[in-house]
Every structure is written in C-alpha cells, then in structure tokens.
Amino acid sequence: MTPPLRLRGFEDWRRQARRRLPRGLFEYIDRGVGREVSLRHQRDRLDAVKITPRMLGGDRPVTLGTSLFGQPCAAPLAVAPTAMAGLVAHDGEVAMARAATRLGLPVCLSTQSINSVQQIRDAVPEARLWFQLYAWEDRALTRELLGRVRASGAEVLVVTVDTPTGARKDWNIRNGFDMPFTWHFRALLDVALHAPWVMRVILPYLARGGFPALGNYRPDLRPTLVRAVPDKAVRLRMALSWSDIAEIRSEWAGTMLLKGICHPQDAIRAADSGMDGIVVSSHGARNFDPCPAAIDLLPPIAEAVRGRMTILADSGVQTGTDVLKYLHAGASGVLAGRLPLWGLAAKGEAGAETALAGLMQELEEALRMSGLRMTDLADGGC
C-alpha cells in the first residue's frame, strides 16, 4: 500500500480534483441530471439511514474479506465503471486497475474507457477485471467486442440497462464539455485555464500518436476527443429489451450482471433469465431525476430475489458508513465510482489507491462501532 497522503475523505479528494480538472470535465463527473433533485435526494436518503449499534460483543475480529462470484475480495467493494477515466489522468484506467489490484479489489472497465480491455490486461495481468457493456447498434461488432473481453480474461460482464436514451445534462451544454470537444470560447477558456491538466493528461496521448480515443472500439471506428462516432454501427444501442439480454447471455458463458435494476419485478425477471446478479443503481443520479435513491430501492429487491442471485449496489458512496448501509440493506457488495476518480484526479494512481484504502478503513471502523461483522449482514445471495 502507498504511504498515507494528507487528503482525507470524500470532500478533500473532491475539492482537490476540482482544482486540477477543467470545469467541464469535473462537472461531467460531479453533477446530476435535470434539476439534480435525485442527486440531493440520494445523499439525503443515505444520511437518513440509521443503524442501531450492538454492544458487549467482545473482541470479535473484524475482517472485510469476502467473495464475489466465487472469487476472493479483500472487501465487499469494487471500482464502478466510469466513462473516460483516461481524461482524469493519463492512462487513468490502467492506473485505477493497478490501485484496485494492490488492494485486492475488482475493477470494472467501461465500454467508453480510453484504455482498452486488452491494455488493462497487458499492464495489470493480475487484475480482477470486470467489463461493463454498452451494446452497439451493430450486433456483429458487439459480439466481436465480447470476444475481446473474453480473451482478456474478464471475470464478469456487467450490462448497463438503465440508459434507454441519452440523459440531458444542461450544465454540460452550458460549460461546453462534450466528446467530441466543442470548439467554442467557454470550452477553450476552460482548457486554457487548466494548462497543467493539458500537459499532464493530453500531451502524453498526443506524443503517443493522437488525441485520446475510446480504446474498446475498433481502430477505424474509434471516437476521439475531437471526432464523433464515425459510423452508426457503433452508436450505443440504448433501448435494450429482454430479447437483447437473452442474445448477450447466449454470447457470454461467464458471470453476467444487469446494472441499473430498480424494480423488484425486473429483478425477478433477471433471475428468471439466468443472470448471476444485478446492480441496484440510480446511475449515480445522472440519468433520471425522479428516480428514487438506490438505498430505498434495495430492500424490496433483496426480499424479492434473495438466494437466487448476487445483489450489488451503487450510487452516492462517499464513506465507509455508506457502504455499511448498503450491505445492511441487502447488498453483498458495493461499487464506488466518484471517490476513486477524485483520488485519481488529485494524486494519480497513488490517490486512487489511498482513497479506496480510506474507504476500506472507514468500513472496518463502522463495523467495529456498530457491533456488526460481515457474517451478520444481510446476504444478498453471494
């Protein structure tokens, strides 16, 4: 583990990331959607959850170790898939994978990542690698992508199902952040005011041969920081159906999850469809502003499918007590997205590792203070 850094806690990492990233990129990660009611509600509902501590349990040892999908994990945590982490830091997905691997945690790579799944595997052969899939319009190209993911040795396929259309993010329209980059005054000024970011992140890509690009796309179809998706064949297939899920299931023999399940009936159908697990999620409050908080969605879903599949959860995780609340509500594991990104932005690979290690330490402390142990928590079906 890296030596401790001075930054402590989510807000410290967030403030430092805000200083180091262009405003448009920071807000792309930080903000919600619409009036951001869901973003505020997500935090309020997590804060409202209370856990009554138990006393006089003696000196029972506290261990975070668990297993997810038959593989050991140092804690019930994984790094959530986040698009374009390679713009937060140069080769950011590789750095994130190294950080997570040193801590014994899985890392989930996004279809929309800058570093490809094979680059991650080559750079971090021992990584516990999961892959998040956005299906493309061209089904043959999607199958080809799944073949590359399979060849990389990825353990788990995570299919995102909660994005039936693009979410309108007015603040990104106003601040000019987009991919491809919008060449207007506000966006150019934002970049100019963050010259260290350009030198630290963008110039190394240019020195390697070009602008940052989405590495999981075929080279001739690859969107870049300055070029839109060049062919409708690799536009995202947004409005998925259960028949699409059945088709993907037929192409993927390994562990498969659906990410973004919010309703118990959808969870039951996922179990009936042969899914190994689900991620209960509000997409970090980034897609649908009226969506309830994931912490409220989780208990009825856990009740509906407990014992039939593994239940994970994400959205709004800032502290170890947030993780404990999700576990107590029925999840077997929790995905963290923004926190490790803020660590990556603030201090690179060491920052991502330290932010995640801090989350693990907070979870251990929360278990001690609550009197709970991992074996006491609700079993989401692991």
Has residue 201 been placed in a domain? no
pTM for the structure as a whole = 0.94
Evaluate whether 74 touches 333 at the Cβ level (below 8 Å).
Answer: no
Residues 6 or more apart whose Cβ sits within 8 Å of residue 348: 89, 95
User: Residue 160 above 90 pLDDT?
Assistant: yes
Angle subtended at Cα 168 by Cα 311 and Cα 93, rounded to the nearest 5 degrees: 55
Q: How far is the C-alpha of 320 from the C-alpha of 359, rounded, in Å?
A: 5
Mean pLDDT across 9-21: 96
Has residue 330 been placed in a domain? yes
User: Residue 84 above 90 pLDDT?
Assistant: no
User: Residue 239 above 50 pLDDT?
Assistant: yes
The number of folded domains in the chain is 1
Has residue 75 been placed in a domain? yes
Q: How far is the C-alpha of 277 from the C-alpha of 128, rounded, in Å?
A: 17
pLDDT digits (tens, 9 = 90+) for 107-144: 999 999 999 999 999 999 999 999 999 999 999 999 99
* DSSP symbol at 59: S
User: Residue 3 above 50 pLDDT?
Assistant: no
Has residue 344 been placed in a domain? yes
Q: Where are the alpha helices (DSSP H) in the chain?
A: 9-20, 23-30, 37-48, 85-88, 92-102, 117-123, 139-151, 170-175, 185-192, 195-197, 203-208, 242-251, 264-272, 294-305, 320-328, 338-370
Has residue 111 been placed in a domain? yes
| Strand, coil or helix: 89 | coil
What CATH code is carried by the domain that includes residue 356?
3.20.20.70
Q: How far is the C-alpha of 200 from the C-alpha of 188, rounded, in Å?
A: 17
For residue 184, the model assigns a pLDDT of 79
Q: Which of 44-48, 194-198, 227-231, 269-273 comes out lowest in average pLDDT?
A: 227-231
Mean per-residue pLDDT over the chain, rounded = 93
Report the catalytic residues. 283
Angle subtended at Cα 126 by Cα 327 and Cα 202, rounded to the nearest 5 degrees: 90
User: Residue 58 above 90 pLDDT?
Assistant: no
Q: Which residues does the annotation place in the binding site for FMN? A: 81-83, 110, 160, 259, 281, 337-338
Reading the block at residue 161, the tokens are 């199902």
Q: Which residues does the annotation place in the binding site for glyoxylate? A: 28, 132, 134, 283, 286
The phi and psi torsions of 272 (rounded to 5 degrees) equal: -65, -25
Residues 6 or more apart whose Cβ sits within 8 Å of residue 212: 84, 86, 87, 114, 201, 202, 205, 224, 225
Reading the block at residue 116, the tokens are 């490809």
Domain containing 276 equals: 9-170+231-376
Has residue 184 been placed in a domain? no
The phi and psi torsions of 148 (rounded to 5 degrees) equal: -70, -40
Has residue 175 been placed in a domain? no
* pLDDT band of 6, cuts 50, 70, 90: low
Has residue 183 been placed in a domain? no
Q: Which residues does the annotation place in the binding site? A: 28, 81-83, 110, 132, 134, 160, 259, 281, 283, 286, 337-338
For residue 270, the model assigns a pLDDT of 98
